[in-house]
Amino acid sequence: MSDTIVNPSPLTLRDLNTENPRWCAGCGDYGIIAGVKRLMVDEQMAPHNTVNVSGIGCSGRAPFYINAYGVHAIHGRANTVALGLALMRPDLNIFIHSGDGDALSIGGNHLIHAFNKNFNCVFLMYDNEMYALTKNQTSPTTRKDHPTNTQPTGTYLRPFRAVSLALGCGASFIATTADWMPDHMLSTIRAAYHHRGFSFVHISQRCPHFDPENFDHKSSAWFSFLQHPQGIEPDKRLKDKTQTVLHDPSNAEEAFKFSEDGRRYFGLYYRNEQKPCYDDLLRRQITNAKPGDHNAILDRFEI
Amino acid sequence: MSATAAKQLKEVSVTRFELLMDAGFGAQKAGDILVQAFAHTGRFVYIEPMIPAEISPPSRSRPALSGVIIRVADFDVTNIGNSTDLILASHEIVLDRRLDDQEETPNCCILLDMCDYENNKESYDQVIARAKKTGHKIHKFNVVPEAATAIKSLAGKGKNIYYLGMLAAIYGMPEETMIKEITATFGKKLGEEILQKNISLFHHGHQYVDDHFDLAYKINPRPLDPAKKKILIDGNTSMSMGIIDAGFKLISGYPITPASSIMHTLAKVFPSYGGLVHQAEDEISAIGTAIGSYYGGVPALTCSSGPGISLKQEFIGYASVAEIPIVIIDVQRSGPSTGMPTKTEQSDLLAAAFGSHGDNTKILISVANVIDCFYAPQMARYLTEKLHVPVFIMSDFLTANSYKVIDKLQVNQLGDVNDIKDFVLERFHIQRLPDHIEMVRLKQSAPGTPGEMRRVTGLNTDEQGKVNYFAGTNHRAHAVRNEKIHHVRRALLKPEMFGPEEGEILVVGWGSTRGVIEEAVAKLRKEGKPVSGMHLRIVYPLPLMLKDIFKKFKKVYTVEVVYGDQYKPPPLAMLLRSETLVDVHALISKASGRPIPPRLICQKVEEVLHV
């Protein structure tokens, strides 16, 4: 997916700045776009060959804060737009930015098919476990009993487990990280970027405005890192403060167990490099077809 | 009735007949072969297939009716006409079902296969009595025993070819021409033995009519220009080929009748021309992917029908605001919801023109025939790329599925949209747009262009593409978007008219009603009636001089295949009223799912002329 930069001077973080984001102070989204920008600089990605695609929500604004091409599309449908780019412009680097409501609720149908289609892009799921831009409603990942504006006596249902969904749909790359561990996030996005296929990155993201108690980023006892030579290195700063668990990312069954056991793990759950990509398969239709004579398109209807 | 000598030869300028069978037994295939023979011998044809909404309903049931209506003439026919002069039905149930539609000429001649009579005497007798009561002549027949044996050996197939033999004899098609067509159609697929069986079935059917049927038609041929190649093509296939010719590289759709066949046709051939067919997980996704492609600078479109258009509406409004080109083909069918998926209607006009959220801008191109279908994708690509506004191509079940023999069309291979040929613009009655069109945002480049990083959004932005919610910039954005549509309004030429530009009555239509309006107006004018017709190719926006034209008539009426009544003007009437403030009424607003017969227009015009 890399491309040579027309401008001979190397890309810097400053080149990627646009306006100041309109996110709240302390919002986890800052950390996520910082990770994407850092990756772009590390990889010297040409911004004009990079497209950030998003849906609606706080995360939806991300494309505006990275100086590359961008499509801030409609609610839940970023995947569909990104697929059009992946199919017809395989030369581009594509990042999708989608929140928990955007990805799992209104965009759920597109997400499950994106897992299966495995088209080439990095999908960043900003999971703050609530609807924020619409002001504090229950989302598919809101923890049970947590009160919101639509379920003030406490959220009724057990939260959706995005990783289990991805595993069940046969996703080819599933990793989790958090907005407050920049080192781990960068490693994760980098691994996702270098995976060919639909790379699903689940990011636990803080919402200091509506749900400041969620995600105690000062303590680390409540989560573990998944570690493996083929996996993603635990966060340098935090690895000694919590436990790490050995997990082979080729083992989907074990990945399911971690996803379902109720504890939070950060790391590479699953990777399958053999899964075919729909965009490659579809484009192969062209390379395999006998070229047609354009002037003869109506010949077969002659009588 | 025997003896060839007693045959009555009817010499006609135009006639219409039908072959009615159970679904899955090749009625349409037989029709295809026959119309090719008509065309090869210098006759003009218009064909409307009758397709069940279900796949293969049980044989001998009313929903199983599948067939073909063929109108053949010594002049270029533009529509399926008024009524049927002859019906060949494979059994009494399909006949009974079709009689419900009341499309027969009085004294219609009905050939009824008595194959199932023994076990269904009562049912046959009832239907025969019904037909006779209406004044139709019934000719009962049985497939001759040798042919019946052959059909049995083909597991019931081949009966269509026997019927084809009968029809060829009735309509005076030379046997050698017919054999050539049958061989061309089946030769490669069926193998020699089965082909010979079919040819033999054809001869048996032909012989039967020669010996036992006393009616034959003569339609005089026009001399053929051997230099002009002819093609037989239906609307959706023509649209598919037009999509290739217009330079599109992606069609992204979701299965829906009657639009799906565009995807089916392209799935077989598009990759050979560098194009892709993407079947999305739903209608919304389908248009999203096409928009993604066009944002990437690669021409793409989506195709659907009413229910799918409803689902796509948010994205259509988004494309308008984000200034991403997109083309949407709407093959309308009878609705709402699933309605009657294999019947025609023109009911999506307002949903397409004014659907979606907020103030959003769109252009609607309509197609009247297979030639329009071929060139509409070029017209749509030109408009959407010049203006960055969503463009609809409005077709319907009738146009999509009817087929015609036409002179082979000129292929254009459109690259840069500015190279669109003048004759394509003329066909849609529009002039070239100005070179410079103002956009809401200055940056309109596709990814890959250094230094032009364009970020699109449904949020309001200023010229630089920066998000802002100031009153002034929001209003400006609306004005700029609407000005794009005004450019089209100003570029639109006077629509196609039949008859003089003044008189008592003006009959206006759009899309598939063109042929019937043309034919009805020609007939009325021949009778000295002060009636003119108008057909709109681009149906939204409307040309600015429309009001001036309307003012030169005492009354303006629309003809629409959609529901309307005294309190509810149908969509076109509503649109024309609001745009011109002329008291436009519907002459015909029928939601029958069937094409409007020219005779009905004549009849209604007579009524209003005498008011």
Strands, E, within B512-584: which ranges?
531-536, 538-540, 553-560
User: Left, alpha or beta for A243 (phi > 0: left; psi -120 to 50: alpha)?
Assistant: beta
- Same domain for B423 and B308, yes or no, is yes
Q: Which of B289, B449, B466 is facing A80, going by the closest CB pair?
A: B289
Range of the domain at B587: 496-609
pLDDT at B259 over 80: yes
In this prediction, residue B1 carries a pLDDT of 42
| Percent of chain B whose pLDDT exceeds 70 | 99
pLDDT at A3 over 60: no
Q: Which of A67, A84, A288 is facing B296, going by the closest CB pair?
A: A84
- Is residue B477 in some structural domain? no
- Is residue B251 in some structural domain? yes
Question: B467 and A113: CB-CB below 8 Å?
Answer: no
Torsion of Cα atoms, B564 then B569 then B575 then B580, to 10°: 140
In this prediction, residue B60 carries a pLDDT of 94
Please tell me if residue B311 touches chain A, with a CB cutoff of 8 Å. Answer: no
- Same domain for B270 and B121, yes or no, is no
- Same domain for B30 and B172, yes or no, is yes
Mean pLDDT of B390-416: 95
A92 chain-B contacts, CB cut-off 8 A: 296, 447-448
Rounded CA separation A229/A244 (Å): 13
Rounded CA separation B301/B384 (Å): 11
CATH code, domain with B285: 3.40.50.970
pLDDT tens profile A177-196: 999 999 999 999 999 999 99
CA distance A63 to chain B (A): 7
- Same domain for B135 and B260, yes or no, is no
Sign of CA dihedral A101, A105, A109, A114: positive
CA distance B500 to chain A (A): 36
- Same domain for B69 and B144, yes or no, is yes
Closest CA to B547 of B498, B586, B495, B479: B495
- Is residue B468 in some structural domain? no
- Same domain for B180 and B274, yes or no, is no
Mean pLDDT of B6-27: 93
User: B226: pLDDT confidence band, cut at 50, 70 and 90?
Assistant: confident
- Is residue B288 in some structural domain? yes
Element (H or E) spanning B314, and its range?
helix B306-322
- Same domain for B210 and B249, yes or no, is no
Give me B380's structure tokens: 């749509």
Question: B232 and A82: CB-CB below 8 Å?
Answer: no
pLDDT tens profile A96-144: 999 999 999 999 999 999 999 999 999 999 999 999 999 999 999 999 9
A88 chain-B contacts, CB cut-off 8 A: 249-250, 276, 292-293, 296, 298, 300
- Is residue B457 in some structural domain? no
Mean pLDDT of B137-149: 95
Mean pLDDT of B384-403: 96
CB B224 within 8 A of CB B42: yes
- Same domain for B53 and B198, yes or no, is yes
B466 chain-A contacts, CB cut-off 8 A: 19
- Same domain for B248 and B210, yes or no, is no
Rounded CA separation A116/B191 (Å): 42
Rounded CA separation B302/B329 (Å): 6
B447 chain-A contacts, CB cut-off 8 A: 48-51, 69, 85, 89, 92
CA distance A2 to chain B (A): 12
- Same domain for B213 and B287, yes or no, is no
What amino acid occupies position B164? Answer: L
pLDDT at B207 over 90: yes
A91 chain-B contacts, CB cut-off 8 A: 448
Q: Which of B244, B278, B314 is facing A297, going by the closest CB pair?
A: B244
- Same domain for B512 and B397, yes or no, is no
What is the side-by-side order of every strand in the sheet holding A93-99?
Answer: A244-246, A223-227, A264-271, A173-178, A198-204, A121-127, A93-99, A50-54, A69-72, B455-457
Closest CA to A121 of A150, A101, A92: A92
Torsion of Cα atoms, B256 then B260 then B283 then A103, to 10°: 120
Strands, E, within A79-197: which ranges?
93-99, 121-127, 173-178
CB B585 within 8 A of CB B558: yes
Mean pLDDT of B516-545: 97
Look at residues B427, B457, B483 and tell me which one is the last residue of a structural domain: B427
Averaged confidence pLDDT in chain A? 96
pTM, entire model: 0.95
CATH code, domain with B588: 3.40.50.920
Rounded CA separation B246/B378 (Å): 5
Per the structure, how many domains does chain B have?
A: 3
Residues 6 or more apart in contact with residue B38 via CB below 8 angstroms:
B44, B45, B70, B72, B171, B173, B219, B405
Look at residues B170, B189, B219 and tell me which one is the last residue of a structural domain: B219
In this prediction, residue A303 carries a pLDDT of 85
pLDDT tens profile A239-282: 999 999 999 999 999 999 999 999 999 999 999 999 999 999 99
Mean pLDDT of B503-510: 98
Give the number of other CB atoms < 10 A from CB of residue B606. 13
Mean pLDDT of B443-462: 95
CA distance B541 to chain A (A): 26
B452 CB-contact burial (10 Å; exposed 0-12 / middle 13-18 / buried 19+): middle
In this prediction, residue A2 carries a pLDDT of 44
Rounded CA separation A192/B205 (Å): 69
pLDDT at B76 over 70: yes
Averaged confidence pLDDT in chain B? 95
pLDDT at B568 over 80: yes
pLDDT tens profile A83-92: 999 999 999 9
CATH code that applies to domain A13-291: 3.40.50.970
Half-sphere exposure of B369 (CA within 13 A, CB side): 19
Look at residues B193, B219, B245 and tell me which one is the last residue of a structural domain: B219
Kind of pairing between the strands at A198-204 and A121-127: parallel
- Same domain for B215 and B248, yes or no, is no
| Percent of chain A whose pLDDT exceeds 70 | 97
A98 CB-contact burial (10 Å; exposed 0-12 / middle 13-18 / buried 19+): buried
Give the number of other CB atoms < 10 A from CB of residue B269. 17
Closest CA to B170 of B404, B7, B37, B30: B7
